[in-house]
Structure 1
Amino acid sequence: MSRVLLVEDDPAVRKGVQLALRHQGHDVFAAGTGEEGLENLSAFRPDVVVLDLMLPGIPGLDVCRRIRERDQVPIIIVTARGDDVDVVVGLEAGADDYVVKPVQARVLDARIRALLRRLDAPASDALRPRAETHGSLTIDRAGLVVSLHGMPVALAPSELRLLLTLSAAPGQVLSRQQLLEAVWEHSYHGDIRLVDACVKRLRGKLGELGGDPGYVQTVRGFGYCFRSS
């Protein structure tokens, strides 16, 4: 049974989603404010956070950022409009996925289970060495530990999965749609903003925002590839 921290200020929506997720087999703690959600993050120790962006008090985006400062728990943001700029801002703030209101319980349950499957079954090959080195970057696929210059790098689940997927085939260009299917398990023609936002966050954590293309390279018109050194 997975533990879900639901942060939603609308009482009716909060109760409906809580009941629906419990019916799907999840253990749900429901918070009505961002403050309450943050206060119970450590005590409840959720496997996934479902976070509404429109919250009183501490805005949902700030809650997302504060969670990322202290925890790499998967975060699914809830937004009122799929084409809203809040989607991109939320993803860049550290969210792993998003759903659009009105929330459909089956869709949300599928996104939660996909996130947890990605954690349980990382992109790896049993024949690959436990740890591989690419210049200053070390990737331990078995231990799911990434180090840069000998220092561990804290990666959110989608960032880690993206790095594991790209680095499994250095030099091979993967399209955004291929990455969407491999990392997020979105088999339909999905939202490539998930990919671009995650690449941006990953590059930032690998120190690649100073102009150096670094490890994750953009192949214009095609997608992304991993440069091993």
Structure 2
Amino acid sequence: MQHILIADDNQDITDILSTYAVKEGFNAVVASDGEEALKLFQEYNPAVVLLDVMMPKEDGYEVCRKIRSKSNVPVILITARGEDFERIMGLDIGADDYIVKPFSPSEVMARVRAVLRRMEKKEVANISENTINVGNLIINLDEYTLHINGAKVSLTKKEIETMWTLASNPNKVFTRDNLLDSLWGFDYFGDSRTVDSHIKRLRAKLDKMEHPLWNIKTIWGVGYKFEVEEN
């Protein structure tokens, strides 16, 4: 049985989410503060983590950072505030999704199923240390090559690295700052327009070939993701 870690200092919320999680076939592990959440994460190695942003001792952002430094487990942040900058901040530190209170427990479980499907797709995509194979796409990082339907697509080194970053995390949203830091480094002084222009040029090259099973999708106001179609 898979474990789900639910961390929130509001017992009413943890009780109802635990009830729904058990119905979904999970073993619910509950924490009431950030320190306890990290301890239980180490102990139970959960399949997915739900984190309230405003928790005592260590908030959800800090817990997410620490989890992400050692694990790729899906993390969903829960908050009472829904401002865009908070959502972007959560995604920047590695959260996979973001839910605003008040919420429907059924919606939360749907989000849980969605992030777990992303993880399954990552496995289905046949991602190894230096090669990605998803649908008609093959990326080889050793050779810095990308093929669609067996044909090599002429891309720059940075474009290959961009595709690798996105495709190695199917359906995960990357903010523009994520991509700037990952591809250009923290010391780069460009802005989000650098990313937008770069993605535009990359798409122009990729779209010369048919790729119906995957696409680089724009998430308006946030960033981009490598979207893989449902089977």
TM-score (norm 2): 0.64
Q: After superposition, where does 1:1-229 map in structure 2 within 5 Å?
A: 1-83=1-83, 85-122=85-122, 123=125, 124-125=133-134, 128-129=137-138, 132-133=140-141, 163-164=166-167, 183=171, 195=173, 197=175, 199-209=176-186, 210-211=188-189, 217-219=195-197, 225=202
8 A Cα contact 1:217 1:224, kept in partner: no
The one-letter code matched in structure 2 to 1:116 is L
Q: Which amino acid aligns with 2:167?
A: L
- What is the CA–CA distance in structure 1 between the aligned matches of 2:95 and 2:13, rounded to whole Å? 21
- What secondary structure sits across from 1:121 in the alignment? helix
Which secondary structure does the structure 2 equivalent of 1:21 belong to? Answer: helix
1:57 to 1:212, Cα distance in 2 relative to 1, 3 A: closer
CA distance 1:15–1:212, change in 2 (3 Å) = same
Aligned residue for 1:28, secondary structure, equals strand
Query: How far apart are the structure 2 equivalents of 1:47 and 1:160?
Result: 26
Relative distance call for 1:60 and 1:161 in structure 2 (3 A) is: farther
CA contact (8 A) 1:34 1:58 kept: yes
Consecutive aligned runs of 4 or more in structure 1 exceeding 4 Å deviation: 126-129, 134-138, 159-162
Other structure's SS at 2:5 match: strand
Whole-Å separation in 1 of the counterparts to 2:95 and 2:105: 19
Larger radius of gyration: 2
Distance 1:162 1:28, change over 3 A: farther
C-alpha separation between the residues in 2 aligned to 1:63 and 1:95? 10
Secondary structure of 1:218 counterpart: helix
Distance 1:165 1:70 in 2: 17
Please say if residues 165 and 183 of structure 1, whose CA atoms lie closer than 8 Å, have aligned partners that are also in contact: no
1:50-86 Cα shifts (integer Å, max 9, x gaps): 0000101112211111111222211100011222632
- The aligned length equals 180
Q: Deviations over 1:171-207 (max 9, x none)?
A: xxxxxxxxxxx726xxxxxxxxxx452x432442344
Q: 1:204 to 1:163 in 2, by over 3 A?
A: same
1:196/1:41 Cα in 2 relative to 1: closer, same or farther (>3 Å)?
A: closer
Code of the residue aligned with 2:141 in structure 1: it is: T
Whether the aligned pair in 2 keeps the contact of 1:79 and 1:87 (CA below 8 Å) is no
Q: In percent, how many aligned pairs have the same letter?
A: 29
Q: Which secondary structure does the structure 2 equivalent of 1:30 belong to?
A: strand
- Root mean square deviation of aligned Cα: 3.7
Unmatched segments (≥5 aa) in structure 2: 126-132, 147-156, 206-231
Separation of aligned partners in 2, 1:225 and 1:165:
17
Separation in structure 1 between the aligned mates of residue 25 and residue 178 of structure 2, nearest angstrom? 32
Q: Distance in 2 between matches of 1:62 and 1:114?
A: 24
Aligned residues of 1:54 and 1:60 also touching (Cα < 8 A):
yes
Instruction: Please tell me the residue identity of whatever aligns with 2:197.
Output: V
CA contact (8 A) 1:118 1:161 kept: no
User: What letter is aligned with 2:181?
Assistant: G
